[in-house]
Amino acid sequence: MTKERGRAAETSTAGSERVELKGLFSMMLGVWYPKDYVLAAIDPTEGAAAVKALLAAGFGSNSVRLDDGARVGRIRAAIYEQRTPLQRAAVAVSRALTDEGLMSQEYFEEAEAGASLIAVLAPEPRLVTEAQQILAAHGARHMRFYDDKCITDLT
């Protein structure tokens, strides 16, 4: 893992911090939708090993992100705080009615239970396959690829 990534993981997300809602933190209908990413829950020790394997396979350091459960909770809280009450209500309805909402809730529950979340930018099919194989070898759970129009279960 790069020093830059380490600093990012150590930076606290205060309530006043704004989370840019694009890239990994993109939203669709108010629900988390990280387009072109393979996303999975993973045990923290396996997560670090998976990052090393992904980097060794040629994924760039800016294409791989590993956040521990506490960091995921802080990011989630920061996103919630920057929404208006009307946006919060719309998200609650969307989350309750869509599969995407249920899936994101599954990731947040994993993080609350101590798992890390790993995200790998994979805008090409061969990259999705490579990321899937590496993450599976490290015991990743709830592995999914977020495409333009659908979410593919990779587990």
Query: Could you tell me which of 75, 44, 46, 65 has the C-alpha nearest to residue 1?
Result: 65
**CA distance linking residue 114 with residue 110, whole number of Å:** 7
Cβ-proximal residues to 122 (8 Å cutoff; 6+ apart), any chain = 36, 37, 38, 63, 128, 130, 131, 145
pLDDT of residue 19: 55
For 52-84, how does the pLDDT look when each residue is reduced to its tens digit (9 = 90+)?
Answer: 999 999 999 999 999 888 887 777 777 677 777
pLDDT of residue 23: 55
Which segment of 41-45, 101-105, 121-125, 147-151 scores lowest on mean pLDDT? Answer: 101-105
